């Protein structure tokens, strides 16, 4: 009787194999070869479509990160490859779940064998996909909104790669193991070899998908950055220990002095006013035209933001300031970055050293009136910058790093004085900014000292009358005598003598 039963089983097995069935006898589950092939095709198609969806969404968020200054979330090649691989793994694991659903799903029969087991596997796959997709979309969207779209420069501050790449690796491992959870419970050790085989297939397909760029992200970078100054020219901002944050973007007029991407001469430079290249001889006319287009009420509040490459000679910058002064425009700001910064230069796009220029050939804040007011003070101290960047302060040689201490001593011992600063046209702009930064650090130090004693707060935290009290006690009076200004004053003096 046993032999008869075995023969019947063998005959039934042969008949099913002939009719197109492959039996996973180790798993006690029957599935047709055609269904296996169709399931694999559907799973691969779903995987590729879902991978494309994730890829395009990443690029969409990158495009949305671009702001008014064409600042874009740029990914390195390693980051792109890593995120592509993670997207591919997630997509292929989802594709595997689609395969499982297709294979285990079928007409519902009340007393069908293994119906409860099949339903359990189906529910497990569907719940896994929808719950993970819900969590992934919420988390990804929250990250994109907070760190990419809303928070200015957020993608410069926080990135998952490379510091937190292990989080994605753990997500992939957990997602894969969870997809086999119910199958492993149902088939025990019998399913282990299929799980290992699945891991190898998923890894291979994922690496293949990750090499496919659905969108040419290099092209996107080029299109969105073609108007970005630092992309078209060389612009490395000077470093400073003191700075302020510009908040009134609508009142800024951006002026750039940059170096060309390809230059044979280190002294080569290009001037741009509102991203338009302007020759040195046309700067005055261009500024006059731009100023004439502004409403008279807003002219006095306009700040001319100077983005100067730190390798540009100071004489170039002084000539630019002289042209601005000739129009009676006084409010300028040097764009700088912190000395010990934690992030990329692009993140510090709005840090500046604010200052005012005396007007030349202008009734407003006239240079002669300004000098006359300073001459009423009891004492003056000269700061002369040398060719190496160091300074002579009251005829004493002071290294750049020691200027803060020297100026602090002068300010704490004197109350009715001012500084005459003679910048050196031949030094790099970085050395000029270093001197200005040191002088302002000394001023901030003595103001903080007085403010803490009087109000128990730092000077930067004061407002209104408190701020004015400290500022009047320790004012920073400084006038720059550039070579252009000195020539202008000498020529005017000669002309005056001729007229007389």
Indicate the range of 12-21, 147-156, 289-298 predicted with least confidence. 12-21
pLDDT (tens digit, 9 = 90+) per residue, 382-434?
999 999 999 999 889 999 999 999 999 998 888 788 899 999 999 999 999 99
Residue 1: predicted pLDDT: 44
Residue, of 72 and 395, whose pLDDT is higher: 395
pLDDT (tens digit, 9 = 90+) per residue, 314-326?
999 999 998 888 8
Alpha-carbon span 140 to 1, nearest angstrom: 64
pLDDT band at 271 (very low <50, low <70, confident <90, very high): very high
Q: What is the pTM of this model?
A: 0.74
Helices 165-179, 77-104: inter-axial angle, 10-degree rounding? 10
Asked if pLDDT for residue 337 goes beyond 50, the answer is yes
pLDDT (tens digit, 9 = 90+) per residue, 452-486?
999 899 988 888 888 889 988 888 888 899 888 88
Residue 120: predicted pLDDT: 79
pLDDT band at 148 (very low <50, low <70, confident <90, very high): low
Which whole number is the average pLDDT over 121-126? 83
Asked if pLDDT for residue 233 goes beyond 80, the answer is yes
């Amino acid at each position: 009787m046993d032999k008869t039963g075995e023969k019947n089983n063998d005959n039934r097995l042969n008949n099913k194999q002939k009719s197109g069935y492959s039996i996973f006898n180790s798993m006690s589950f029957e599935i047709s070869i055609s269904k296996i092939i169709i399931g694999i095709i559907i799973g691969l198609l779903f995987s590729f479509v879902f991978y494309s969806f994730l890829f395009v969404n990443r690029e969409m968020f990158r495009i949305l990160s671009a702001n008014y200054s064409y600042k874009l979330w740029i990914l390195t090649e390693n980051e792109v490859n890593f995120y592509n691989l993670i997207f591919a793994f997630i997509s292929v694991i989802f594709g595997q779940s689609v395969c499982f659903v297709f294979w285990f799903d079928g007409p519902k029969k009340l007393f069908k064998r293994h119906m409860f087991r099949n339903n359990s596997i189906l529910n497990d796959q569907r719940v896994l996909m929808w719950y993970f997709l819900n969590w992934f979309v919420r988390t990804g969207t929250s990250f994109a909104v907070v760190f990419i779209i809303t928070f200015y420069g957020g993608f410069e501050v926080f990135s998952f790669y490379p510091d937190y790449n292990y989080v994605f690796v753990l997500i992939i491992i957990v997602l894969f193991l969870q997809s086999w959870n119910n199958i492993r419970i149902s088939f025990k050790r019998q399913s282990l070899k299929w799980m290992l085989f699945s891991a190898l297939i998923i890894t291979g397909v994922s690496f293949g998908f990750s090499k496919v760029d659905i969108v040419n992200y290099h092209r996107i970078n080029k299109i969105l950055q073609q108007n970005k100054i630092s992309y078209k020219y060389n612009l490395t901002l000077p470093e400073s220990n003191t700075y302020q944050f510009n908040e009134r973007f609508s009142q800024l007029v951006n002026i750039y002095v940059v170096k060309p991407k390809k230059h044979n001469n280190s002294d080569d430079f290009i001037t741009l006013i509102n991203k338009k290249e302007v020759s040195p001889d046309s700067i005055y006319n261009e500024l006059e035209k731009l100023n004439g287009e502004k409403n008279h009420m807003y002219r006095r509040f306009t700040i001319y933001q100077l983005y100067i490459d730190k390798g540009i000679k100071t004489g170039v910058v002084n000539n630019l300031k002289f042209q601005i002064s000739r129009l009676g425009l006084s409010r300028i700001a040097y764009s700088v970055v912190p000395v010990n910064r934690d992030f990329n230069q692009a993140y510090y796009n709005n840090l500046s050293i604010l200052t005012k220029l005396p007007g030349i050939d202008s009734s407003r804040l006239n240079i002669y009136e300004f000098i006359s007011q300073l001459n009423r003070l009891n004492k003056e101290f000269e700061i002369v910058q040398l060719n190496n960047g160091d300074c002579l302060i009251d005829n004493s040689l002071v290294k750049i790093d020691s200027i803060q201490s020297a100026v602090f001593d002068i300010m704490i011992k004197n109350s009715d004085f001012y500084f005459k600063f003679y910048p050196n046209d031949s030094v790099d702009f970085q050395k000029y900014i270093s001197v200005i930064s040191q002088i302002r650090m000394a001023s901030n130090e003595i103001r903080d000292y007085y403010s803490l004693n009087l109000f128990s707060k730092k000077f930067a935290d004061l407002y209104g009358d408190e701020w004015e009290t400290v500022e009047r006690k320790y004012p920073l009076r400084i006038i720059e005598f550039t070579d252009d200004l000195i020539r202008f004053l000498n020529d005017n003096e000669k002309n005056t003598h001729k007229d007389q």
